[in-house]
Amino acid sequence: MEFILAILVGILFTAAVYLILSRSLLKVILGTGLLSHGAHLLILTMGGLGGNAAPVVLDGVTDFADPLPQALILTAIVISFGVTAVMLVMAYRMYAVHQTDNMNELRGNDEHD
User: Long-range contacts made by residues 78-85, C-beta under 8 angstroms, separation at least 24?
Assistant: 80/32, 80/36, 80/40, 84/29, 84/32, 84/33, 84/36
- Residue 11 binds another protein (CB under 8 A): no
The single residue among 72, 74, 81, 102 that binds another protein, judged by CB under 8 A, is: 72
Nearer Cβ to another protein (15/91): 91
Count the site residues for another protein by CB under 8 A.
36
**Distance from C-alpha of 94 to C-alpha of 85, rounded to nearest angstrom:** 14
93 φ/ψ angles, rounded to the nearest 5 degrees: -65, -40
Site string for another protein, 47-66 (x = CB under 8 A): xx------------------
**Distance from C-alpha of 90 to C-alpha of 98, rounded to nearest angstrom:** 12
Interface ranges with another protein (CB under 8 A): 20, 25, 28, 32, 35-36, 38-40, 42-43, 45-48, 68-69, 72, 75-76, 79-80, 82-83, 86-87, 90-91, 93-94, 97-98, 106, 109-111
